Amino acid sequence: MNSHVRISVTDRARCLIDGAWTSCDSAPIPSFDPSDGALVGEFTVADEVGCSAAMAAARTSFDEGSWSHAPRLRASVLLDYATRIERAKGELAALLSAENGKLLHDAEHEVAAGVSELRYYGGLARNIFGRVTEIEPGLIAMLAREPLGVAAIIVPWNAPVTLLVRSLAPALAAGCTVVIKAHPEAALVTTRLVALLAEDGRIPRGVINLIHETGSEHAQSLVTSPLVDVVSYTGSTVVGKKIMAAAAGTLKRLNLELGGSAPCIVCADANLDAAVAGVVRAGISHSGQVCVAASRILVHVDVCATFSAKLVAALRAIQVGSPRDHHSQMGPLINRRARDRIISLATEAAGSGEILIAPRVPEGLPSGGHYLTPGLAAIPDSRSALLQDEIFGPLLTISTFVDDEDALARANYSRFGLAASVWTSDLKAGQRLAARLQAGTVWINQHLRMHAEIETGGFKESGLGRLHGIEGLEAFLQTKHISWTTN
């Protein structure tokens, strides 16, 4: 039984600008459940005036307010915010599941990860230190760590709780003020998250601002405006490049986590059952709509036949269904366009390889839902578009390698470098492979494991900068040199 959730900020999700919730006089935009097409709620979009007002409010608050000088307050705000989210975890998980089709237990895990992230950066907020040294007798130099200023956070739809919090938490911990731009397919849960933060009356007006839009005009304004000092964006490489080009005019700081096509190297000595289970779990998580999802499966030629048979059986057994049904192992894709794109990719793949499992629209599920069964294609040529582009859906590819050099050549033959995994019973061999893989994260005998304390980010066209961990905080800080003499 589906349970549809409406947000409780007001009758609909609005924008938060300079401390006030506003509809910006816009007509409401509906948000539909991708599992059955039911109406989940509505949101209103900001106009050009509203977007400009949000940036101006954040700028004024940073330049004239006390937020950037109050680390103990910032720490307390983040820790209390974590507690409020934890108390609302059931509501937030249900809303997230209804809005973007994520399995309910995965949505619950995402909310819990957001709580962990907030508590981590709540602790770091009180530990931002510079250093002082005496260069020569009587000549003192101090390096101070200061917040960058106004941070624009452009949030995607696929993991809106985690992907908002992992930028918002370090930005606020550093002392920045923020303008958040929600994705239209995650507007409701993003608004609810911001509303829980805005409940804290200690936060000065203008520190937190939230705007909605259905296009990209406001995102363009955030990227080009001199009022914004840093942009944190998670999304496609195509858009990331546009952001980088548009930001050149103001030379603002960028933190970009972009596309991926994660290779999974399965060695001849790997535990094949464990590797299959891990690859399937990481390949179909949120219907494959994850930038670090297992995508390109590279298997040693000696075990490929056995591994492939096990993988086909495991993928065929996946139960696709409602995100709120605890028996479901995979829910819907975000919309019909995404579903049809995966079907089209599988059709095109037949020209460069063999379709071992064709993704299909399952029977017996709501016609308004965007369901698809997992697919698998054997693609021998590393130059195939299916291996060179980000799939972002439940369509995996498999190919063989003959030795470590061949495996590395195939794995690294990609413009992406976000994540990878190695599956082997020889830990030393796994470490040697990991050291030569061109990826920001390499897992050994696991995949899709993230932690608040540990930085992630991409090599090559998978992005700039790092998120999570100490370096996630560094993205929102800058260094100032102050010097004086005592003579």
Q: What is the spatial distance between Cα 285 and Cα 370, in angstroms, rounded to a whole number?
A: 15
Burial 205-228 (b: 16+ CB within 10 A, else e): ebbbbbbbbeeeebbebbbbbebb
Question: Does the annotation mark 257 as catalytic?
Answer: yes
Q: What is the spatial distance between Cα 124 and Cα 163, in angstroms, rounded to a whole number?
A: 19
Query: How does DSSP assign 139-163, residue by residue?
Result: EEEEEEEEE-SEEEEE--SSSHHHH
Helix (H) or strand (E) segment spanning residue 341: helix 336-349
Q: What is the spatial distance between Cα 454 and Cα 235, in angstroms, rounded to a whole number?
A: 20
> Comparing C-alpha atoms, which of 128, 115, 119, 225 is closest to residue 162?
115
Q: What is the spatial distance between Cα 485 and Cα 464, in angstroms, rounded to a whole number?
A: 39
Q: What is the spatial distance between Cα 137 and Cα 487, in angstroms, rounded to a whole number?
A: 9
Question: Does the annotation mark 217 as catalytic?
Answer: no
Which residue among the candidates 42, 99, 117, 257 is catalytic per the annotation?
257
Distance of CA 151 to the CA centre of its chain: 17
Measured from the Cβ of residue 323, the count of other Cβ atoms closer than 10 Å reads 29
Q: What is the spatial distance between Cα 394 and Cα 330, in angstroms, rounded to a whole number?
A: 9
Beta bridge partners of 385: none
DSSP 320: B
Which residue among the candidates 99, 291, 461, 474 is catalytic per the annotation?
291
Query: With 0-12 CB in 10 A as exposed, 13-18 as middle and 19+ as buried, what is 183?
Result: buried
Q: What is the spatial distance between Cα 234 and Cα 207, in angstroms, rounded to a whole number?
A: 21
Active site residues: 257, 291
